[in-house]
Amino acid sequence: MKSWKRLALIAAMTTASSMALAAEVKVAMNGANDPSKNAEAAFAQGFADALKGTDFEVKVFPSETLGKEKERFDQVAQGLLEVNLASVPTTYGMSPVVKGVALPFLWESNDQFDKVIAQTDMLERMNAPLLDNGIRVAGFNYIGVGIGIHNTKKPVAKIEDLQGLRFRALNAEQLAFAEALGATGTVIAWSEVANAIQTGVADGYLNPPNSAIRTGHTAFLKHFTPANISPSTRIVLISEDWYSGLDATQKQQIDKALAAGIAANRAWVKNWEGEVRKKHQEAGVTITELAPGERNRMAEAGKKVWAQTMTPEQLQLYLDAIKQVQ
Residue 4 has a pLDDT of 37
List, by residue range, all CATH 3.40.190.170 domains of the chain: 22-143+232-273, 148-230+277-325
What are the pLDDT digits (tens) for 82-132? 999 999 999 999 999 999 999 999 999 999 999 999 999 999 999 999 999
Find the DSSP H helices in 164-236. Answer: 172-180, 193-198, 209-215
pTM (whole model) above 0.85: yes
How many residues in the chain?
Answer: 326
Q: How far is CA 298 from the centre of its chain?
A: 23
Regions of the chain with pLDDT less than 70: 1-22
Q: What whole-number distance in Å separates Cα of residue 62 and Cα of residue 304?
A: 37
**Per-residue model confidence (pLDDT) at position 210:** 87
* CATH match of 148-230+277-325 with 3.40.190.170: yes
- Provide the pLDDT for residue 22: 65
* φ, ψ of residue 29 in degrees (nearest 5): -155, 170
What values do phi and psi take at 129, rounded to 5? Answer: -85, -15
- Rounded Cα gap, residues 153 and 166, in angstroms: 10
pLDDT at 214: 87
Say if CB 208 and CB 145 are below 8 A apart.
yes
| Reported CATH class of domain 22-143+232-273 | alpha beta
pLDDT of residue 259: 98
